[in-house]
Amino acid sequence: MKKLNIAIIGAGSYTFSRKIVGDLCITEGLNGCHVTFMDIDAERLNLIYDLAVRMSRELKAGMTFSKTTSREEALSGADFVLNTALIGGYEYIDAQKRLGNQCGYFMGAWLHYFRQMAFFRELADDMARLCPNAWLILSANPVFEGCTLLCRTSEIKTIGLCHGHHAIQKVGEEMGLDPKKTDGRAVGFNHWIWLSDFRYEGRDAMPLLHQYLEEHPFDETKMFLGPAAVEQFRMYGMLPIGDTIRFAAWWLHIDMESRKKWFGADGGRDAQFWYNPEQAEKWSREIREIAEGKQKVTDTFRPQFSGEQIVPIINSLTNHQKGIYQVNIPNEGQIIKGIAEDVAVECQAVIDGAGIHPISEPPFPKNLMIKAMLPRWSYAELMVEAVRQHDPQLLLFYLLEDHRTRDYAQAELYMTEWLNMEGNGYMKDYFGM
C-alpha cells in the first residue's frame, strides 16, 4: 500500500503545523504517513521539523518527515496539500493595513487578500502539474473568495476550512448552558455564517435562544451574544456566528466610539493592529527552547486532539471513516438555494471514502438575503473576478464599493500607493500596472 504523503505549505506556522502533526500521531489509521514541510523561512522550517520528529518518536507514530523551501519539491507526489501560507507574513499585512488606514480604509480594506488569492491560483496550477489527484485543504484566508476562485479556475479537489462554527458552543456557554451538550448548524459564506439550527441535549433550543436575546440585549461582558450580535439578530432575523459578528455590519466600525458601543470598552478585536513583534519573538523563543531542549515535546504539547478538522477529514477520505464536518465547497446542486453553483458556501457535509456529500439547507429568509447575503456575494465577486481576469479596474471598483470611500480620487490614490508599496512588485506585475 502506498504511503500517504501530506504536504504542508507555509509550515513555518508553529501552532498550525504542530497541531496537525500531533493529530496525525494519535490517529491510528494515519500512523506511518510522510509529511513534507515547506516554507521559505528556513529557520522556522528547521524548528517545526525538529519538533515533529521528536513528537512522532515519543508517541511511536512511525511517521517520517522532510523539509524544503521548494514548493515544487513539496508537491511532487502529494496526496493532500494543506495550505496555511500567509504571503508576506504579518509584517507585510501590518504595513498594508497602516497604509490603508492613512488613506481612510478600515483594516486596509483587506487588500492583502488579493496577494493571497494570486498565490492560491499559483498553488493550484502547480498541483495540476505535480499532484493532480491530490486534495487541497485551504486553511489560509480568504476562504470564501479563495474557494470560489478555485472552483472557477482549477480542477483540483478543494475543501476550505475555518473555525467560526465552533462559536455555536460558545453561544450555549454564554447562555449558561453546558457547551458539551450544545450543537447546531451555521451556514452561509465563510466569516459570514448564520445560525440555522440550535440544539441542547438533542432538542430544539431556538426558543431558549430567542428568549435569552430578548432579555439580554446589551450585555457587554458577552462576546458571542453581546450588543453587536443581538443588534444584528434583530436586523437580519438570524444570529451571526463567530467572526460574522465583526464583519456583517460595517457601520459598527465607523469610529472608536462605535466600536466601544458594540464591542465593549476596548473596542473589540479590530480596534488595534494584530501583529505584535515582541509577542511573536517571545513565541518563537519558547518554541525554539522546546524543539532544542532536553525535555519531552509531549510534556508541553500533550497527545490529545487539537479540535482541527483537517486530520479527521484526511482519515475519513483515506480510511473510509464517515464523519460530519463544516466545510467550504462550491454550491453545486444548490446546497443553499438562491446562490449560484460556482460560489463557495459554508455548510455541513458527510465525508467518507467516496468523497464529500453536502447536507442541503433551506433557502435563507428573503430579509437576510437582501440585507446581508447578496451584498456580501456581490462584493466578493469583485475580488474573485479581479484576480481571475488580472483586471485592475475591478480592483479599483472593489475599493469604490467600500463604504469608507468618499470619492474616486481616494480609491485611486490608495490603489496606486498599495501597488507601489514595498513587497507588492508581484501584484503590480499581476495587474499589468
pLDDT of res. 272:
67
Exposed e or buried b for every residue in 316-344, given b needs 16+ CB within 10 A? bbbeebeeebbbbbbbeeebbeebeeebb
pLDDT value of residue 265: 87
* Domain stops at, among 162, 183, 198: 162
Q: Which candidate, 45, 34, 85, places its Cα nearest to that of 68?
A: 45
Place of cell 513583534: 277
Q: Is residue 193 part of a domain?
A: yes
The tally of domains found in the chain comes to 3
Q: Which domain holds residue 171?
A: 164-271
Grid cell listed for 260: 466601544
Per-residue pLDDT tens digits for 81-134: 999 999 998 889 989 999 999 999 988 999 999 999 999 999 999 999 999 999
- pLDDT at 24 > cutoff 80: yes
Does residue 137 share a domain with residue 174? Answer: no
- Nearest Cα neighbor of 77 from 16, 11, 133 is 133
143 within a domain of the structure (yes/no) = yes
pLDDT in tens, 257-273: 999 999 988 888 887 65
Is residue 229, in this structure, part of any structural domain at all?
yes
Q: Note whether residue 321 is domain-resident.
A: no
Whether residue 315 is contained in a domain is answered as no
Q: Catalytic pick from 197, 219, 243, 352?
A: 243
Residue that wins the pLDDT comparison between 288 and 205? 205
Give pLDDT tens digits for 139-150: 999 999 999 999
Q: Per the omega criterion (within 30 degrees of 0), is the bond before 142 cis?
A: yes
Specify whether the CB–CB gap between 50 and 291 falls below 8 A: yes
CA distances to 100, 112, 356, 400, 430 from 421, rounded to whole Å, are 11, 12, 41, 20, 14
Among residues 220, 238, 271, the one where a domain terminates is 271
Same-domain status, 23 and 157: yes
Residue in 125, 163, 357, 403 annotated catalytic: 163
Tell me the pLDDT tens digit for each residue of 380-408. Answer: 999 999 999 999 999 999 999 999 999 99
State pLDDT tens for residues 222-246. 999 999 999 999 999 999 999 999 9
- Does residue 342 have an active-site annotation? no
In a domain, 58, yes or no: yes
Q: Please say if 403 is a catalytic residue.
A: no
Per DSSP, 425 falls in state H
Q: Are residues 173 and 140 in the same domain?
A: no
Q: Within this chain, do residues 254 and 179 fall inside the same structural domain, yes or no?
A: yes
Please report whether residue 292 resides in a domain: no
Task: Band the pLDDT of 327: cuts 50, 70, 90.
Answer: very high
Q: To the nearest whole percent, how much of the chain has pLDDT over 70? A: 97
Q: Does 293 fall in a domain?
A: no
pLDDT at site 14: 77
Predicted pLDDT of residue 164? 94
Q: Supply the mean pLDDT for the chain.
A: 94
Is residue 427's pLDDT more than 70? yes
Could you tell me if 68 and 120 lie in one domain? yes
